[in-house]
Amino acid sequence: MIAGSAEWIAERRTGLGGTDLPKILGVSRFGGPMDVYMDKAGLTAPIIESEAMRWGTILEQPVALEYAHKTGRKVSRAAGFLRHPVAPYLYANIDRWSDKKGTPRKVLEVKTSGEFAAKDFGEEYTDQVPADYLVQVMHYLNVTGKDEADLAVLVGGQKHRIYTIPRDDELIRGMDEVAWQFWSDKEQGIPPDIDGSEGSSLYLAHKYKDTGVELPMDDALAMLATQYAALKADVKARTAEIDLVGNQLRSLMGDARWSEGAGVRVLYAERAGPTKVNWEGLVKALPIPRDVIEKYTTIGAPTRALTVTMKGDI
């Protein structure tokens, strides 16, 4: 089964995997419970591979081989979806198995991380790793029944580190309770609490449509609307302040690329400009028939915009 294929996506939606548990528990940097709910319900767009994801895939094998070189252990790929023997809605797509004669088999998880994320890791060969990695690996130990896992990570493209994570049955029991409740609710069509995630916005867009009617204002609605307007005004003020301080920093940096000291680092580096194609101008310049243009033109679904205006501003 090829990762990213229709079959693979369908299989993922039959349960909860290692990257889902950190989101459900609220410790992921890449989403929350509602994002998982919408994904499992098949209401999200396919994930577009980012450059970081692409390089993570490319570097997975070299990082695993360096782990094997440093530890003297043999690494091998794990086949397909592994299911929990008692709770089959829990599955694992582990990166590698780690084996050495006379020792128990381990789970091996392989990661690549940016230089600035190095502070989130502790000393090498400890279990001091970011919370989302810890939960992901503990989930794999739960599904596979293994007692220990190693996490091999390449930091900043040049620092290879290994972390050893032992099984924590108390943590696993807590994760199991949350996972069971989440999956039970999902099967009954009960979504998680609304939060500030993209998943919540998408859920509300699917659930509610514009019927053109007026909703009588009550105290709860008025309070939230006032709070929303105040937060938007604060964001606008803070954005202006950020822009001012940013320009002051740029002025002080001048032609310099970076500065470091006193617990802070400033990078003011040149980046390649974006590439843009003037498709409208290109179409006008080429003799493309209108029916061909219409064939390749799509109109997105309508969206609802939220606007709150205080009466004194009307």
Instruction: For residues 158 and 248, state if they share a domain.
Output: no
Domain annotation covers residue 1: no
Per the prediction, the chain carries an average pLDDT of 89
Instruction: For residues 31 and 80, state if they share a domain.
Output: yes
For residue 269, give the H/E element and its range: none
Q: Is residue 4 over pLDDT 70?
A: no
SS3 of 222, please? helix
pTM of the model: 0.76
CB environment 65-83: b (16+ within 10 A), e (fewer): eebbeebebebeebeebbe
The contacts of residue 140 (CB under 8 Å, 6+ apart) are 18, 92, 94, 107, 109, 146, 149
Band the pLDDT of 80: cuts 50, 70, 90.
confident
Residue 99's domain is classified under what CATH number? 3.90.320.10
- Domain enclosing residue 61, as ranges: 6-202
Instruction: For residues 57 and 86, state if they share a domain.
Output: yes
The tokens of 84 are what? Answer: 């929990």
The contacts of residue 154 (CB under 8 Å, 6+ apart) are 59, 62, 63, 66, 111, 112, 113, 160
Domain annotation covers residue 92: yes
Domain annotation covers residue 172: yes
The lowest-confidence range among 75-84, 145-154, 226-235, 291-300 is 291-300
Q: Specify the higher pLDDT residue, 57 or 127.
A: 127
Domain tally, the chain: 2
The tokens of 238 are what? Answer: 């803070």
Domain annotation covers residue 97: yes
Instruction: For residues 252 and 156, state if they share a domain.
Output: no
Pairing of strands 148-155, 106-113: parallel
CA 116 to chain centre: 17
Domain annotation covers residue 183: yes
SS3 of 259, please? strand
